Amino acid sequence: MSTRIKLPEKPTVQDVLLAVAGLGGHLKRNGRPGWLTIDRGFDELLTSEVGWYACPLGRSRPSAFMASVTATATTMATHLL
């Protein structure tokens, strides 16, 4: 990840969606993100998660942020499909 995206303490589904889309290259001034941009962002997020666990600092469980993002993304996918 090249930029850090600050989410509110209790992010909404839209907050998380825009953060994930931002990882995929979405710019706020371009309107709503498309599926391809969201997919690219989610792929970037999952790649970063793999890198996080591969880091030799002994991390053994997901952070609260990653658990929240994964749960929200799963909920979004369930409702959208």
For 43-56, the pLDDT digits (tens) are 998 888 877 777 76
Q: Could you read off the pLDDT of 18-67 as tens digits, one per residue?
A: 999 999 999 888 889 999 999 999 999 888 887 777 776 655 555 666 66
**Whole-number Å distance between alpha carbons of 19 and 25:** 10
Of 45, 40, 47, residue with least CA distance to 68: 45
CB-count burial class (<10 Å; 0-12, 13-18, 19+) for 60: exposed
pTM, rounded to two decimals: 0.61
Nearest to 16 by CA among 66, 65, 69, 64: 69
